[in-house]
Structure 1
Protein backbone atom coordinates (compact mmCIF):
# COMPACT_ATOMS: atom_id res chain seq x y z
CA UNK A 1 0.00 0.00 0.00
CA UNK A 2 3.06 2.25 -0.20
CA UNK A 3 1.73 3.85 -3.39
CA UNK A 4 -1.35 5.12 -1.54
CA UNK A 5 -1.15 8.77 -0.54
CA UNK A 6 -3.58 10.32 1.95
CA UNK A 7 -3.85 14.08 2.15
CA UNK A 8 -6.22 16.85 3.15
CA UNK A 9 -8.45 18.23 0.41
CA UNK A 10 -8.13 21.80 -0.76
CA UNK A 11 -10.55 24.04 -2.60
CA UNK A 12 -9.08 22.88 -5.93
CA UNK A 13 -10.20 19.31 -5.13
CA UNK A 14 -13.91 20.03 -4.70
CA UNK A 15 -15.06 19.39 -8.27
CA UNK A 16 -13.20 16.07 -8.37
CA UNK A 17 -14.70 15.01 -5.04
CA UNK A 18 -18.21 15.90 -6.20
CA UNK A 19 -17.68 13.81 -9.36
CA UNK A 20 -16.22 10.96 -7.30
CA UNK A 21 -18.99 10.56 -4.72
CA UNK A 22 -21.78 9.45 -7.11
CA UNK A 23 -19.46 6.68 -8.36
CA UNK A 24 -18.11 5.57 -5.00
CA UNK A 25 -20.51 6.56 -2.21
CA UNK A 26 -23.95 5.28 -1.28
CA UNK A 27 -26.68 7.85 -0.86
CA UNK A 28 -26.55 11.61 -1.11
CA UNK A 29 -26.42 14.46 1.33
CA UNK A 30 -28.00 17.89 1.33
CA UNK A 31 -24.42 19.24 1.43
CA UNK A 32 -23.18 17.39 -1.68
CA UNK A 33 -22.61 20.53 -3.70
CA UNK A 34 -19.83 23.04 -4.29
CA UNK A 35 -21.12 25.36 -1.55
CA UNK A 36 -21.36 22.61 1.08
CA UNK A 37 -17.96 21.09 0.43
CA UNK A 38 -16.31 24.52 0.13
CA UNK A 39 -17.70 25.51 3.53
CA UNK A 40 -16.28 22.32 5.03
CA UNK A 41 -12.81 22.83 3.54
CA UNK A 42 -12.67 26.51 4.54
CA UNK A 43 -13.98 25.92 8.08
CA UNK A 44 -11.90 22.83 8.79
CA UNK A 45 -9.12 22.37 6.21
CA UNK A 46 -8.02 19.04 7.68
CA UNK A 47 -11.43 17.34 7.82
CA UNK A 48 -11.82 16.06 4.25
CA UNK A 49 -9.20 13.39 3.64
CA UNK A 50 -8.44 12.08 0.17
CA UNK A 51 -6.76 8.81 -0.74
CA UNK A 52 -4.91 8.89 -4.04
CA UNK A 53 -3.10 6.24 -6.01
CA UNK A 54 -0.95 7.35 -8.95
CA UNK A 55 -2.57 10.77 -8.75
CA UNK A 56 -6.09 9.33 -9.04
CA UNK A 57 -8.71 9.87 -6.35
CA UNK A 58 -9.63 6.43 -5.00
CA UNK A 59 -11.16 7.21 -1.60
CA UNK A 60 -12.51 9.88 0.73
CA UNK A 61 -13.52 10.33 4.33
CA UNK A 62 -14.68 13.35 6.30
CA UNK A 63 -13.20 13.32 9.80
CA UNK A 64 -15.11 16.10 11.52
CA UNK A 65 -14.45 17.20 15.09
CA UNK A 66 -16.63 19.83 16.71
CA UNK A 67 -14.63 20.04 19.93
CA UNK A 68 -17.00 17.62 21.61
CA UNK A 69 -17.42 14.60 19.36
CA UNK A 70 -15.65 12.98 16.43
CA UNK A 71 -17.86 12.32 13.42
CA UNK A 72 -17.00 10.26 10.35
CA UNK A 73 -18.84 10.88 7.10
CA UNK A 74 -18.51 10.03 3.43
CA UNK A 75 -16.17 7.07 3.71
CA UNK A 76 -16.10 6.06 0.08
CA UNK A 77 -13.77 3.93 -2.01
CA UNK A 78 -14.04 3.68 -5.78
CA UNK A 79 -15.52 0.27 -6.68
CA UNK A 80 -12.45 -0.69 -8.76
CA UNK A 81 -10.20 -0.18 -5.71
CA UNK A 82 -12.20 -1.83 -2.94
CA UNK A 83 -10.78 -4.56 -0.70
CA UNK A 84 -7.27 -3.13 -0.99
CA UNK A 85 -7.04 -1.52 2.46
CA UNK A 86 -7.94 1.99 1.33
CA UNK A 87 -10.90 2.39 3.70
CA UNK A 88 -8.75 1.07 6.54
CA UNK A 89 -6.00 3.59 5.73
CA UNK A 90 -8.53 6.44 5.59
CA UNK A 91 -10.05 5.45 8.93
CA UNK A 92 -6.59 5.18 10.49
CA UNK A 93 -5.86 8.73 9.27
CA UNK A 94 -9.19 9.90 10.72
CA UNK A 95 -8.40 8.19 14.04
CA UNK A 96 -4.98 9.85 14.14
CA UNK A 97 -6.59 13.24 13.54
CA UNK A 98 -9.15 12.68 16.26
CA UNK A 99 -6.55 11.49 18.75
CA UNK A 100 -4.35 14.52 18.07
CA UNK A 101 -7.36 16.78 18.69
CA UNK A 102 -8.22 15.07 21.98
CA UNK A 103 -11.19 13.11 20.67
CA UNK A 104 -12.45 10.23 22.78
CA UNK A 105 -14.87 8.35 20.54
CA UNK A 106 -15.78 8.43 16.88
CA UNK A 107 -19.20 7.85 15.42
CA UNK A 108 -20.25 7.16 11.86
CA UNK A 109 -23.50 7.54 9.99
CA UNK A 110 -24.20 4.37 8.02
CA UNK A 111 -27.21 3.83 5.78
CA UNK A 112 -29.56 1.14 7.09
CA UNK A 113 -29.85 -0.49 3.66
CA UNK A 114 -26.10 -0.55 2.98
CA UNK A 115 -25.16 -3.99 4.33
CA UNK A 116 -21.72 -3.93 2.72
CA UNK A 117 -20.91 -0.74 4.58
CA UNK A 118 -22.24 -2.15 7.85
CA UNK A 119 -19.85 -5.08 7.55
CA UNK A 120 -16.96 -2.75 6.75
CA UNK A 121 -17.69 -0.52 9.75
CA UNK A 122 -17.95 -3.54 12.04
CA UNK A 123 -14.61 -4.82 10.73
CA UNK A 124 -13.12 -1.40 11.54
CA UNK A 125 -14.17 -1.76 15.20
CA UNK A 126 -17.41 0.24 15.14
CA UNK A 127 -20.63 -1.12 16.59
CA UNK A 128 -24.23 -0.17 16.15
CA UNK A 129 -26.00 1.64 18.98
CA UNK A 130 -29.68 0.86 18.61
CA UNK A 131 -30.75 3.05 21.52
CA UNK A 132 -29.90 6.21 19.52
CA UNK A 133 -31.85 7.51 16.57
CA UNK A 134 -30.82 10.41 14.36
CA UNK A 135 -33.24 13.33 14.23
CA UNK A 136 -32.91 15.97 11.51
CA UNK A 137 -34.43 19.31 10.60
CA UNK A 138 -33.70 20.96 7.26
CA UNK A 139 -32.65 24.60 7.60
Structure 2
Protein backbone atom coordinates (compact mmCIF):
# COMPACT_ATOMS: atom_id res chain seq x y z
CA UNK A 1 0.00 0.00 0.00
CA UNK A 2 1.47 3.44 -0.88
CA UNK A 3 2.51 5.83 1.86
CA UNK A 4 0.15 8.79 2.17
CA UNK A 5 1.70 11.94 3.59
CA UNK A 6 -0.75 14.30 5.28
CA UNK A 7 -0.68 18.04 4.75
CA UNK A 8 1.03 19.47 7.86
CA UNK A 9 0.78 23.17 8.81
CA UNK A 10 2.25 24.57 12.01
CA UNK A 11 2.80 27.92 13.71
CA UNK A 12 1.13 30.21 16.23
CA UNK A 13 -1.12 33.17 15.34
CA UNK A 14 -1.69 32.14 11.72
CA UNK A 15 -4.72 31.99 9.44
CA UNK A 16 -5.29 28.96 7.22
CA UNK A 17 -7.85 28.73 4.41
CA UNK A 18 -8.42 25.64 2.33
CA UNK A 19 -11.18 24.88 -0.13
CA UNK A 20 -9.86 21.53 -1.24
CA UNK A 21 -11.66 18.35 -0.45
CA UNK A 22 -10.02 15.12 0.59
CA UNK A 23 -10.49 11.42 0.18
CA UNK A 24 -8.64 9.57 2.94
CA UNK A 25 -8.98 5.91 3.87
CA UNK A 26 -7.27 3.41 6.16
CA UNK A 27 -5.98 3.02 9.71
CA UNK A 28 -3.27 5.49 10.77
CA UNK A 29 -4.01 7.79 7.83
CA UNK A 30 -4.69 11.52 8.36
CA UNK A 31 -5.57 14.08 5.69
CA UNK A 32 -4.60 17.41 7.29
CA UNK A 33 -2.72 18.31 10.49
CA UNK A 34 -2.79 21.92 11.75
CA UNK A 35 -0.98 22.85 14.95
CA UNK A 36 -0.44 26.15 16.70
CA UNK A 37 -2.03 28.39 19.28
CA UNK A 38 -4.55 31.08 18.29
CA UNK A 39 -4.87 29.92 14.68
CA UNK A 40 -7.91 30.74 12.55
CA UNK A 41 -8.77 27.80 10.30
CA UNK A 42 -11.38 27.91 7.53
CA UNK A 43 -11.77 24.53 5.84
CA UNK A 44 -14.27 23.98 3.03
CA UNK A 45 -14.68 21.35 0.34
CA UNK A 46 -16.16 17.89 0.16
CA UNK A 47 -14.49 15.07 2.09
CA UNK A 48 -14.68 11.31 2.37
CA UNK A 49 -13.02 9.72 5.41
CA UNK A 50 -13.29 5.93 5.74
CA UNK A 51 -11.92 2.72 7.21
CA UNK A 52 -10.29 4.03 10.39
CA UNK A 53 -8.76 7.22 8.97
CA UNK A 54 -8.89 10.71 10.51
CA UNK A 55 -9.79 13.54 8.15
CA UNK A 56 -8.18 16.41 10.04
CA UNK A 57 -6.38 17.07 13.30
CA UNK A 58 -6.30 20.61 14.70
CA UNK A 59 -4.32 21.19 17.89
CA UNK A 60 -3.58 24.34 19.85
CA UNK A 61 -5.12 26.60 22.46
CA UNK A 62 -7.47 29.37 21.37
CA UNK A 63 -8.07 28.12 17.83
CA UNK A 64 -11.08 29.28 15.82
CA UNK A 65 -12.27 26.68 13.30
CA UNK A 66 -14.91 26.85 10.59
CA UNK A 67 -15.64 23.58 8.80
CA UNK A 68 -18.09 23.42 5.90
CA UNK A 69 -18.81 21.42 2.76
CA UNK A 70 -20.18 17.90 2.46
CA UNK A 71 -18.45 15.16 4.45
CA UNK A 72 -18.93 11.42 4.53
CA UNK A 73 -17.44 9.55 7.49
CA UNK A 74 -17.68 5.76 7.59
CA UNK A 75 -15.92 3.81 10.36
CA UNK A 76 -13.55 6.78 10.81
CA UNK A 77 -13.18 10.19 12.50
CA UNK A 78 -13.96 13.32 10.51
CA UNK A 79 -12.09 15.81 12.72
CA UNK A 80 -10.13 15.72 15.98
CA UNK A 81 -9.74 19.13 17.62
CA UNK A 82 -7.70 19.50 20.81
CA UNK A 83 -6.82 22.53 22.88
CA UNK A 84 -8.27 24.79 25.53
CA UNK A 85 -10.55 27.68 24.60
CA UNK A 86 -11.29 26.50 21.06
CA UNK A 87 -14.27 27.68 19.03
CA UNK A 88 -15.58 25.46 16.24
CA UNK A 89 -18.38 26.30 13.80
CA UNK A 90 -19.54 23.26 11.87
CA UNK A 91 -21.61 24.61 8.99
CA UNK A 92 -21.56 21.79 6.46
CA UNK A 93 -23.56 18.64 6.05
CA UNK A 94 -22.21 15.30 7.15
CA UNK A 95 -23.22 11.66 6.85
CA UNK A 96 -21.74 9.39 9.53
CA UNK A 97 -22.06 5.60 9.50
CA UNK A 98 -20.33 2.37 10.43
CA UNK A 99 -19.41 3.42 13.97
CA UNK A 100 -17.72 6.63 12.81
CA UNK A 101 -17.55 9.97 14.62
CA UNK A 102 -18.02 13.30 12.87
CA UNK A 103 -15.96 15.40 15.29
CA UNK A 104 -14.09 14.88 18.57
CA UNK A 105 -13.26 17.96 20.66
CA UNK A 106 -10.84 17.61 23.57
CA UNK A 107 -10.01 20.54 25.86
CA UNK A 108 -11.40 22.88 28.48
CA UNK A 109 -13.76 25.78 27.66
CA UNK A 110 -14.46 24.62 24.11
CA UNK A 111 -17.40 26.03 22.14
CA UNK A 112 -19.07 24.24 19.24
CA UNK A 113 -21.76 25.69 17.01
CA UNK A 114 -23.43 23.18 14.72
CA UNK A 115 -25.50 24.90 12.03
CA UNK A 116 -25.05 22.07 9.56
CA UNK A 117 -27.12 19.01 8.76
CA UNK A 118 -26.17 15.62 10.18
CA UNK A 119 -27.28 12.16 9.08
CA UNK A 120 -26.06 9.65 11.66
CA UNK A 121 -26.69 5.93 11.15
CA UNK A 122 -25.33 2.60 12.33
CA UNK A 123 -24.38 1.25 15.72
CA UNK A 124 -21.71 3.26 17.49
CA UNK A 125 -21.88 6.27 15.14
CA UNK A 126 -21.68 9.78 16.69
CA UNK A 127 -22.11 13.40 15.61
CA UNK A 128 -19.64 14.71 18.17
CA UNK A 129 -17.86 13.65 21.33
CA UNK A 130 -16.13 15.83 23.88
Same fold, judged at TM 0.5 (above): no
Higher strand share: 2
Which structure has the bigger radius of gyration? 1
Higher helix share: 1
TM-score (norm 2): 0.30
Q: Which has the higher contact order (CA 8 A, sep 6+)?
A: 1
TM-score (norm 1): 0.29
